[in-house]
């Protein structure tokens, strides 16, 4: 847990966020700048800087299951959705606490920019 990390502060409750789901390993909340009609962020409760620093398979599995759960609760399972983990500078990671974006509610394009 880092006082300097925005997402650790959301986990700790000192920065407000709209929580939509949680499990033992992680929490899911709405992105403050949504890039799709549904845009959730799924993060681990403990500080892990990025996917490149992740090593706990149970934690990663729980985060993926949480992503699927919030996609289901947003009504995205039928139409589809995208799960993205921006990792490092070239991918445009701006918050250095591992997170999965769950995006849906519109048609996505490929390849991403």
Footprint (CB under 6 A) of ligand 5GP, residues 11-70: 15, 17, 29-33, 41
From the CB of 27, what's the least distance to ligand 5GP, in Å? Answer: 11
Nearer to Zn ion by Cβ, of 13 and 113: the residue is: 13
Q: What are phi and psi of 19, to 5 degrees?
A: -75, 140
Q: Is 40 in the site for Zn ion (CB under 5 A)?
A: no
Structure tokens at 78: 């039928």
Nearer to Zn ion by Cβ, of 31 and 82: the residue is: 31
Q: Is 4 in the site for ligand 5GP (CB under 6 A)?
A: no
State the first-to-last Cα distance of the chain, in angstroms, to the nearest integer. 32
Nearer to ligand 5GP by Cβ, of 22 and 86: the residue is: 86
Long-range contacts from 81-90, C-beta under 8 angstroms, 24+ separation: 81/38, 81/105, 82/108, 84/112, 85/50, 85/51, 87/50, 87/51, 87/52, 88/50, 88/52
Q: Which residues are catalytically annotated?
A: 99
Residues that bind ligand 5GP (CB under 6 A): 6, 15, 17, 29-33, 41, 86, 92-95
């Amino acid at each position: 847990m880092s006082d300097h990390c925005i997402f650790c502060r959301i986990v700790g409750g000192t920065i407000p966020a709209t929580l939509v789901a949680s499990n033992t390993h992680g929490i899911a909340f709405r992105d403050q700048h949504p890039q799709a009609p549904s845009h959730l962020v799924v993060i681990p409760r403990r500080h892990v800087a990025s996917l490149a620093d992740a090593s706990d398979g149970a934690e990663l599995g729980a985060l993926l299951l949480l992503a699927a759960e919030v996609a289901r609760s947003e009504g995205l399972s039928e139409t589809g959705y995208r799960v993205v983990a921006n990792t490092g500078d070239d991918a445009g990671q701006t918050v250095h606490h591992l997170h999965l974006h769950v995006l849906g509610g519109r048609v996505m394009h490929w390849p991403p920019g």
